[in-house]
Structure 1
Amino acid sequence: MKAILYVGHGTRSKKGAEEAKAFLQRVINQVDDAPIQEISFLELTPPFIDQAFKRCVERGATEITVVPLFLLAAGHIKKDIPEALLKSQENYPAIQVEMKDPFGVQDEILDAVEELVLSVVEDISPEDSVLIVGRGSSDPSIHKAFAEIADGLGRRIGTDKVSVCYLAAASPNFEEGLETVSQRTTGKVIVIPYLLFSGLLLSEVIQNVRARQRSGETIYCTGPLTEHRAIEKLFIKQILKDEK
């Protein structure tokens, strides 16, 4: 019997965890390809991968498709999730396990981000500066991916003043990136947190933006990517790909 095991990142934020679970439950309600579907998280938010894997088996799963709810392929996708799955696979060696890819850089996501930006700032000029804020990773492929994201968003929004910074594990860090863009811009500053859900990282971004707004700076910030329903539709599309 087929099962789908969804894997989110996890967060200490109650709001962020609730958003992720609600998102995945909406997905489950729309995916009828597998009779067994379970939600799990890599860290911080239960149920964890081993618990949800066991639940799939107890419900009768003979093959499990692992679907990561991650934007890009970095250390969590290449190392952490496979390692977390390894113990479960050793405990249940008869179970066939396949792991799907994360979102990656896709036009549909960039189109959705453009719409999120336009919902916050209607009049964008070539003088405006955009700061994309990634979660961050030591994996060098992340820098390549964000270079593609920056180029794609710049072309869509109509400015070549697009910078990238990171909240952890990569440079420039968020504080450095925000200060540099604020000093150099001759127009508005538009901050785009490239994150799926609310959480402590997004709160950090929003707090910094609001502090600058109070000081008189013309700066705006979009919400998490899942505020746009295109992300949900794309996630479902990737789940069903090659399954029929």
Structure 2
Amino acid sequence: MKRSLILFAHGARAASWAAPFERLRDGLRAQLPGTPVTLAFLELMEPRLPEAVAAQVADGAADITVVPVFLGQGGHLLRDLPLLAEQIRAAHPGVRLHVAGPIGEDPAVQAAMADYCVRSLS
């Protein structure tokens, strides 16, 4: 079963806003050769999540993990993402769609952010 990964970000009007997410995507592609890794957005930028999933399904993916690259779980992740996931599952019934928790709530990510803050003091 072909697996793939989608990084799900909010999106912004300024194209430069996406640069850190693009670097994350590119780094993951290097770490996960043979696993498609794409970046998708909730709004203001393309591709949107449904289109990114459709592209991966067209490429043969049957097991897709979506990682919200949000620091916390606000309205977009509590309301918008579950609705999008439901619509995606209905559109692609043979595909396993797993939605991870927000990246910023992971203990290891929080520890890395804390380390950065401590290093910033020096």
TM-score normalized with structure 1 length: 0.44
- 1:144-170: CA deviations, max 9, x gaps? xxxxxxxxxxxxxxxxxxxxxxxxxxx
Coordinate RMSD, CA, aligned: 1.8
Distance 1:6 1:42 in 2: 11
Distance 1:67 1:28 in 2: 14
Q: CA deviation at 1:19?
A: 3.4
Distance 2:38 2:21 in 1: 13
- 1:194-244: CA deviations, max 9, x gaps? xxxxxxxxxxxxxxxxxxxxxxxxxxxxxxxxxxxxxxxxxxxxxxxxxxx
Given the alignment of the two structures, is residue 55 of structure 1 paired with residue 55 of structure 2, yes or no?
yes
State the one-letter code of the partner of 1:67. Answer: V
* 1:202-221 superposed matches below 5 A: none
Question: Identity, % of aligned pairs?
Answer: 26
Unaligned runs of 5+ in 2: none
TM-score normalized with structure 2 length: 0.83
Q: CA deviation at 1:92?
A: 0.6
Distance 1:29 1:89 in 2: 28
Unaligned runs of 5+ in 1: 123-244
Distance 2:86 2:30 in 1: 28
Specify the alignment match of 1:84 in structure 2.
84
Q: CA deviation at 1:23?
A: 2.9
Conserved 8 A contact 1:6-1:68: yes
Conserved 8 A contact 1:7-1:41: yes
Distance 1:8 1:28 in 2: 17
Larger RCO (CA under 8 A, 6+ residues apart): 2
* 1:1-244 superposed matches below 5 A: 1-32=2-33, 35-102=35-102, 103-104=104-105, 106-116=110-120, 118=121, 122=122
Specify the alignment match of 1:145 in structure 2.
none
Distance 2:96 2:24 in 1: 26
Q: Secondary structure at the match of 2:23?
A: helix
Distance 2:20 2:41 in 1: 13
Distance 1:35 1:24 in 2: 11
How many residues are matched?
117
State the one-letter code of the partner of 1:15. Answer: S
